[in-house]
Amino acid sequence: MFFLLSKILSFLLVPFNWCLLLLSFGLISKNKRKKRTAFIGCIFIFIIFSNTFIYQMVVKRWEYPVEPLTKDESIDYPIIILGGLSSYDNHTERIHFNEATDRLMQGLLLHKANPVRPLIISGGSAEIYFSERPEAEYLYEYLTNIGIESHKIHFETTSRNTFENALNTATLFDSLDIGKEITLVSSAFHMRRAQACFEKQNFKVHPLAAHAFTNHQALKPKDYLLPSLHTLQSWPLLIKEWMGILVYKLKGYL
């Protein structure tokens, strides 16, 4: 129920949807004052959430810092890569990698620097409308196909969210009798919640943030003045993350 409810509520955490709701209300309302308030609210939300300068100010303060990779060959504890970076097309039998694949690429660099370090892929299916292959399962096949030794890869295929990532990975570690000091690879905007979940399961976490939205380059004049649909579409990840942290705290997951 919690999983299904979180998917339904996610619709209400998208600024573009707020604009649509206010616009729709303004069009159907017969009250001139309410109509005017709805239209003004719609314009205000669009201007604020489509402004790249405002978005960058917020995301820079929120994201976990992305730092240079430490390729220390003496480090041998496992590398855990959280899922949500790909999908599988049953028709073409191919993997579609999304922008969060940076998690996998950075984790592979660490593994290549010291192949002794095992890789753990944690990710099942978060799809609620139809069944699909667990992400960790087909990523395991992909990694072995590109030359990663199969005995260096472990996978957890049942988790649907970050809490289950941590809980099920802890169970996997206990079954394999692996120490719980890890490098945890996740997106920079998601790292705070991921780290807290794994620490709740008694892991000693060394965070490795990837897939960052923070732009370290100087902004252009248009970023201050002109609305950006790309920026408007970037906010839901942050808002959902903040709501996710609130819900996890209320449920005692953190």
**pLDDT at site 93:** 86
β-pairing, 86-89 with 94-97? antiparallel
**pLDDT at site 85:** 87
Helix axis angle, 229-251 to 32-49, nearest 10° = 90
Q: What are the b/e assignments for 56-68, b being 16+ CB within 10 Å? A: beebeeebbebee
Q: Residue 105, Cβ neighbours under 10 Å: how many?
A: 14
Instruction: State the pTM of this model.
Output: 0.85
Q: Which residue has the higher pLDDT, 12 or 50?
A: 50
**pLDDT at site 157:** 82
pLDDT tens, position by position, 77-124: 999 999 888 888 888 888 999 888 999 999 999 998 888 888 998 876
**pLDDT at site 3:** 57
**CA dihedral for 24, 222, 61, 183, sign (positive or negative):** positive
pLDDT tens, position by position, 180-206: 999 999 999 999 999 999 999 999 999
Averaged pLDDT score across all residues of the chain: 89
- The rounded distance, in Å, linking the Cα atoms of 135 and 98 is 13
Q: Is the pLDDT of residue 42 over 90?
A: yes
Helix axis angle, 52-62 to 32-49, nearest 10° = 60
- The rounded distance, in Å, linking the Cα atoms of 235 and 45 is 12
36's CB contacts (< 8 A; 6+ apart) are 26
Lowest mean pLDDT among 5-9, 22-26, 219-223: 5-9
Per-residue confidence band for 5, with pLDDT thresholds at 50, 70 and 90:
low
Per-residue confidence band for 70, with pLDDT thresholds at 50, 70 and 90:
confident
pLDDT tens, position by position, 135-183: 878 888 888 898 888 888 888 888 888 999 999 999 999 998 888 999 9
CA angle at 181 for the pair 205 and 150, rounded to the nearest 5°: 110
Closest CA relative to residue 122, chosen from 158, 96, 92, 93? 158
Per-residue confidence band for 210, with pLDDT thresholds at 50, 70 and 90:
very high
Residue found under tokens 């069944």: 131
- The rounded distance, in Å, linking the Cα atoms of 180 and 182 is 6
